[in-house]
Amino acid sequence: MEEMIEPLDRVFLQLGPFTIYWYGVLIGLGVIIGYVMASRESVRRGMPKDTFSDFVMYVIPVAIIFARLYYVIFRWEQFADDPIRVFYIWEGGLAIHGALIGGVLTAYILTKKRQLSFWQLMDVAAPSILIGQAIGRWGNFMNQEVYGGPVTREFLEGLMLPEFIINQMYINGTYYHPTFLYESIWNFIGVVVLLLLRRVNLRRGELFFSYLIWYSIGRFFIEGMRLDNLMIGDSLRTAQIVSILLIVGALLLWWYRRAKGLATERYLDPHQPARTNGNKKKTKKKKKK
């Protein structure tokens, strides 16, 4: 006889015809905490005070759009018969890798337009991105998604998990691995690692590379446990392929920038706008006179 366990209510608040879901609330909470962290750190690093408040207005909407597009592309069969559901993002289905692609591209364009250091911005943002992902995974928990293979209740109890997590992992008559939790914990540990690496005073860009490597290692192994993967064909897990590409790409860029002398400034160096190159040229001309 099947156990009768009711899942947690996905609705956070009902306001007349408007429904606010826990999924959106938790993702929003991750964004807010990440923004506060990055904004304070940017001021400490001497960047313009409104840097992250301005960037968030562009980066967040683009990241959400890319996250949804990425998910829809690899799960089109889920929407083919009812395309309007593409817009139902409260049901879940925001891919982190898609958000990362959209966010980084937007940040690159905006830093070039505003003559800011792209690498400095991404270094400052790296722990914030990771803490946003760590908190956002609890939105997946509320939607009963991002879970692994079947396990027993005794296994989950052996992990010393609270009752509400164990019960929420009971889906359609079976208990499952809480892979959302494994990834969330990995990400929270990663935030601590990145904050410690700030003190090491790595060269610009390398803190962001460290984020890519840390997250991708965890995601690769945890993805292998999941059942609700985005797939390429019948056997290739999209997130594992992307994780490998990100690790290799980050390591190659790390080496290349050092080898070519492109990574001379360090994380704790004072902020200097891109225009300083032009100012230096003018100073040299004056000395020649």
94-125, pLDDT tens digit by residue? 999 999 999 999 999 999 999 999 999 999 99
Q: Which domain holds residue 38?
A: 11-204
Residue where the block lists tokens 């409104």:
50
pTM of the model: 0.89
- What total of structural domains would you count in the chain? 1
CA-to-CA distance for 86 and 73, rounded, in angstroms? 10
Q: CA 45 to CA 57: how far, in whole Å?
A: 21
- Residue 244 inside a domain? The answer is no
85 is known to lie in a ligand binding site: no
Position 281 in a domain: no
Residue 66 in domain:
yes
174 within domain boundaries: yes
Q: Would you state the pLDDT for residue 272? A: 66
233 belongs to a structural domain: no
Answer yes or no: is 200 within a domain: yes
Confidence bin at 2 (pLDDT 50/70/90)? low
Q: What are phi and psi of 282, to 5 degrees?
A: -65, -40
As a 3-state breakdown, the chain gives helix, strand, coil percent values, each rounded to 5, of 65, 10, 25
> What beta strand segments (E) does 116-223 contain?
150-151, 170-171, 174-176
92 belongs to a structural domain: yes
Residue position matching structure tokens 């609700």: 228
pLDDT tens track for 212-265: 999 999 999 999 999 988 888 778 899 999 999 999 999 999 999 999 999 899
The conformation of residue 85, written as its DSSP 8-state character, comes to: G
Q: 278 lies in a domain?
A: no
